Chains A and B, each alone.
Chain A
Amino acid sequence: MSRIVDIPAQFDDRGFEQFVAGIGAWPPEERLFFDGRGVQWSTPYSLVGLLTAGQSIREDKGEKPLLAIPTNDDVRSYWSRMRFFEHAADLFELHGKLPRPHRGARHSDTLLEITPVRASEDVHDVVGGIQEGAQRILTGELGLEAKATMGFAMALSESCQNIVEHAGTGGWVAVQTYHYRRRLGRRVAVIAVSDAGVGFRRSLEATQAKRFGDRWRDGTALEAALVQGVSRFRDPGRGQGFAGIKRYLQRWHGKISVRSGTARLAIVPSWDDDVPLVENLCFFPGSQLQVTIPSQDTAAE
């Protein structure tokens, strides 16, 4: 017997929260049936998050969840060219008409298909592989200055390194540009990273929990890392990754949002109406990060 968890039609970061709420307690006690048949729109963030759900269930020795794939041809094709199905085949029992594996050239809006990150070498390949495409997309499509490419690669590298350094398990990354109709009506470049690891609270607990006392929870752990630049390592050079990402985003009017456990913290630019800190969300394992860089005509508004 399995329990059905609907994947929302709009499967973006907000839709992802509906999806997580549908899962309920973690780890799930029953076999889950993720029903994605009605998905009409999805983002790299939601796709790496969905893989993380499957990964975490597997790592918890849970029964392999079922996944009904979208019926919408465009969505299914998108999931295919993002190589979602290649990774999902190991984590889910897939149901529905699978598209033929995408073998052609990388789609022009895709900088990096969903890619597993387990070790430092993976980060090297991810960052090295996107350099040329990043230059083309950031300067050509988003109207950023050429020097923005270096910062983008740095942000990608530091985001992926959080998995290697802190998660204690593997994760996923994807980078894409798309037209962000829902909140912006403009093009954006998005870095989405998700892991099934220990999350920020547990990663920082040994060094920070005492300082926060009763206030220590997922939200304060995210604040410590993202706002105060705290690291679990005492080395004075640590904790600079998020600081560097924030400086880059400030310059290019970008947004970062990090979800871990039951909280989500965002540094919100003026073009967005997101809430900086949301607590008491339904628990989801590991951490999920999204960096969004808007086209510069948006930022100027």
Chain B
Amino acid sequence: MIETINVARVLREALATPYRILVTRATGALVRDRIELKLTQSNCHAAVLDFREVDLLDLSCADEVVAKLLRSGQAKFVAIAGLHEDLREQVHEVLEPQRLAVTVVHDDGAPELLGSVSEDARLAFMELRDAGCTCAELARRLAWPADRAASALATLESLRLARHDDHGFTLIPFA
């Protein structure tokens, strides 16, 4: 099950403020605590953080809300939606130096990577976007040696950007 969380609404619940802005570490920690509580209560394995109604995000708050949530593992899988271009830049800037990445879900449902991953992992992500596959299939599609394909897929799995079962690897179906 996937829980979609309206981040601006969480902010309103956490803080009596007329502004739809996510700034300061303290605010970010407050919002993350509430998000984690929601995830615990709903027992969901995947969460989509919807930033659609957020006007402003600073780096400290982006670190508290997004990076720390990714690191905490409170939700097994996390994606972001409704990011306008400026917010997207802030999220990228906090994830990149920490070698973290997150799936961004666009309104048309198409997933995209944001943050820091190797070029191979990025290419593997794009292949998985088209269709799930095994290591061998990915190696064949990209004309890579098997160990290169395995390493790229393992990276995506370790960053919780993909999962695998008996049939192979797939992206997380957030949309």
**A binding-site residues for B, Cβ under 8 Å:** 119-121, 123-125, 127-128, 131, 147, 150-151, 153-154, 157-158, 161, 164-165, 236-238, 240-241, 243-244, 247
Contact = CB atoms under 8 A, between A and B. Distances in A.
A35 to B, nearest CB: 38
B59 A240 contact: yes
A131 B56 contact: yes
Contacts of A120: 24-27
A158 B59 contact: yes
Interface string B102-133: 00000000000000000000000000000000
B86 A240 contact: no
A297 B30 CA distance: 42
Interface of B: 15, 17-19, 21, 23-27, 55-60, 63-64, 67-68, 85-86, 90, 93-94, 97-98
By Cβ-Cβ distance, the 6 closest A-B pairs, closest first, are A128-B19, A120-B26, A237-B63, A150-B86, A157-B58, A157-B23
Contacts of A125: 17
Contacts of B86: 147, 150-151
A238 B94 CA distance: 9
Contacts, number: 83
Nearest to A154: B58
Contact of A127 (B15, B26, B56, B67): B56
A237 B98 contact: yes
A219 B27 CA distance: 31
A15 to B, nearest CB: 32
Contacts of A243: 59, 93, 97
A124 B90 CA distance: 17
B23 to A, nearest CB: 4
A157 B98 CA distance: 21
B127 to A, nearest CB: 30
A237 B61 CA distance: 10
Contact of A128 (B18, B59, B60): B18
Nearest to A120: B26
Given A127-B56, A237-B98, A240-B63, A164 B26 contact: yes
A153 B68 contact: no
A165 B26 CA distance: 10
B98 A124 contact: no
A161 B19 contact: no
Nearest to B93: A244
A127 B23 contact: yes
A238 to B, nearest CB: 8
A158 B60 contact: yes
Contacts of B60: 157-158, 161, 240-241
Contact of A154 (B55, B59, B63, B97): B59
Given A124-B23, A240-B59, A243-B93, 13 more contacts: A120-B24, A124-B15, A127-B23, A128-B18, A147-B85, A154-B56, A157-B24, A161-B60, A164-B24, A237-B67, A237-B98, A241-B59, A244-B59
